[in-house]
Amino acid sequence: MAIHPIDYRYGSEEMKRIWEEENKLQKLLEVEAALARAHAKLGNIPEESARAISERANTKWVKVERVKEIEAEIHHDIMAVVKALSEVCGEHGKYVHLGATSNDIIDTANALLIKESLEIVLKDLRELRSILKNLAKEHKHTVCIGRTHGQHAVPTTYGMKFAIWLDEIQRHIDRIEEAKERILVGQMSGAVGTMASFGEKGLELQRLVMEDLGLKPARISNQIIQRDIYAELMGILALIASTLDKIALEIRNLQRTEILEVSEPFGKKQVGSSTMPHKRNPIRCEKVSGLARVIYSNVIPALLNNPLWHERDLTNSSVERVILPETFILLDEMLKSMKKVLSGLEFFPENIRRNLYLTKNLIMAEPLMLKLTEKGMGRQEAHELVRKLAMKAFKEGRDLLEVVRESEAMEYLTEDDLNSLKPENYIGLAPQIVDNVIAYIEEVERRERS
């Protein structure tokens, strides 16, 4: 019976398969097999035994049900895996798990699961990057009102919005690629990390196991891979979630009825409300923002898992059973939802223009002040004059430029000066800035392909 929504509502099958019981068991078995092969290479066990263990270290031979049955008797999860694998290896079973401690197997298997999961996250981030790059190109010159403190500020462009998100997504890709060196590590170091159980060839054995599995060996561990590594991973995943939350929040605000500049896609048969048939709710973006809160909350237990008693205790284990799959699966849902939203984003040009002119040119106060300064008025004096004129225009509900025409500002200005004060003329270097971001991203993409 499904209980957690990730069982039936959130996450792709591709991501969920990684964290299913059978695949997690498979990864544990792969580590045991790699350990046996390393022992054989070092002459610690017969090659025939390593081959037999490797052949049967998979879920065709070792069943989840059998492992659970053993665990119910002995109350130890990894020893249950060891016993189940030993059973199917016959006389060679005596070499299974030789010299290892439980977390040699668990933490190394976790690294394999994390590695697979990060590849899906990176794939989605790169696809999201492509969508944002195209939107930035398409809307490089789409002028809109910029808002600070929720108030109309000065004009910007939709290209700027998309390029800011695009640049941030690239930083997340960079963070993951850089952090892989620290995160994708395994260990084979014995009970408290000294490798005493492996003898003088312990370091070589660990190197062979990790080379076999495509991981880096930990430089040092006690009984576990140190959990600052997991905390860093969770921090990166939470940062990605925060960017998706940021994008979703902006779209939700811009989709508000009184603004309605853009909207997430709405299907022909989609229902917005059970009682209000007219509703077009931003449900995908709201879901993204909601799931981000769960991911944020998972960072705290990841940080708390780093300080443990002495060489280790078990308080991190139960937590990680929850937060690792949950965070990856929920982030997977968020990434795929955001790809759908942005690839089908609907624009309302007439509303974008309406909002740009909503304040009757009050948003031209800054360029007006700069124009007065250019014509010889002191900057502070110009600021105070324009402030007074703007407050007068606001109070009287009039166009700012109309009020300016009646003021002492005209001692410095011409009619051509006022006519030049249009929102579309005050976007600075926005197109060039967007082009710079796009050029950088395209160079990164070229390097990835080469």
- Active-site residue numbers? 149, 273
Give Cβ neighbours of residue 334 (< 8 Å, ≥ 6 apart).
241, 244, 287, 288, 291, 292, 295
Structure tokens given for 275: 């009682």
CB 337 within 8 A of CB 128: no
Strands 262-263 and 346-347: what pairing?
A: antiparallel
Instruction: State whether residue 407 is helix, strand or coil.
Output: coil
Give Cβ neighbours of residue 229 (< 8 Å, ≥ 6 apart).
182, 183, 185
Structure tokens given for 292: 């981000």
Where is 24: in which H helix or E strand?
Answer: helix 21-41
CB 102 within 8 A of CB 316: no
- Residue 35 identity: L
CB atoms within 10 A of CB 259: 17
Give CA–CA dist 106/187, Å, rounded.
Answer: 9
Give CA–CA dist 144/146, Å, rounded.
Answer: 6
Instruction: State whether residue 429 is helix, strand or coil.
Output: coil
Minimal CA–CA distance to 133: which of 157, 165, 156, 177? 165
List beta partners, residue 216: 185
Residue where the block lists tokens 């695009």 = 166
Give CA–CA dist 388/394, Å, rounded.
Answer: 10
What's the distance, CA 225 to chain centroid? Answer: 23
Instruction: State whether residue 196 is helix, strand or coil.
Output: helix
CB 92 within 8 A of CB 98: no
What's the distance, CA 10 to chain centroid? Answer: 16
Give CA–CA dist 95/233, Å, rounded.
Answer: 34
Instruction: State whether residue 148 is helix, strand or coil.
Output: strand
DSSP 340-354: HHHHT-EE-HHHHHH
Structure tokens given for 133: 């790059």
Give CA–CA dist 236/248, Å, rounded.
Answer: 18
